[in-house]
Amino acid sequence: MRKWIIIIMGFFVVFVVGGYLLLNNEEGKRREIEIVQEYQDIKHPEGARMLHYELNRKILIRWIHSRYSYSINDSEVAKYYENQLLSKGWHQISYSLPPGKVGYLYAKDNLELALTLNKNGYWIISMHYSDVDY
């Protein structure tokens, strides 16, 4: 009997904590506002065309995934974003990609922005939180 009471109490605690995080998620809302503001602060090269945009949520984690096509070549796109992001307080992080892949990783506070070239010639911009404190 005592074992069942402990199990029921454990489920109750998980249910209450999970419900609180889902229903009263001020930290998640704050993160969403911050990530959207940072994303909107990025200016894109003239002629850039957004092909896809999505804002994703999971309790506290937020991330944006978007895809663009450009009227300039790939090296000009990479250089443009390097200048754009470094001037706004981002710094470039080195990371390894599989051979043949082109991509750059930038960080600012607790945000990461990945700029990668898709195999069909579109650039993907993905921004997310690099740490989550519950």
Residue 14 forms part of a structural domain: no
Assess if residue 2 is contained within a domain: no
Give a yes or no: residue 112 inside a domain.
yes
Q: Is residue 17 part of a domain?
A: no
Does residue 36 form part of some domain? yes
- Mean pLDDT, rounded, for 107-126: 88
Answer with the residue of higher pLDDT: 20 or 51: 51
User: pLDDT: is 98 or 42 the higher one?
Assistant: 42
Q: Which of 125, 118, 127, 82 is nearest to 100 (CA)?
A: 118
Q: What is the 3 state secondary structure string of the chain?
A: CHHHHHHHHHHHHHHHHHHHHHHCCHHHHHHHHHHHHHHHCCCCCCCCEEEEEEEEEECCEEEEEEEEECCCCHHHHHHHHHHHHHCCCCEEECCCCCCCCEEEEEEECCEEEEEEECCCCCEEEEEEECCCCC
Asked whether the predicted pLDDT for residue 119 surpasses 80, the reply is no
- Identify the band that residue 23 occupies on the pLDDT scale cut at 50, 70 and 90: low
What was the pLDDT predicted at 134? 38
By DSSP bridging, strand 49-58 and strand 61-69 are antiparallel
> Does residue 110 fall inside a structural domain?
yes
pLDDT of residue 25: 66
Whether the predicted pLDDT of 15 surpasses 80: no
Domain of 119?
25-129
The pLDDT score that the predictor gives to residue 19 is 62
Percent with pLDDT over 90 in the chain: 43
Q: In this predicted model, which residue has the larger pLDDT, 16 or 82? A: 82
In a domain, 4, yes or no: no
Residue 76 is which amino acid?
E
What phi, psi does 97 have (nearest 5°)? -120, 160
- Residue for token pair 């249910």: 15
Structural domains of the chain, count: 1
Q: Is 20 part of a structural domain of the chain?
A: no
Least confident interval from 2-16, 56-70, 85-99, 110-124: 2-16
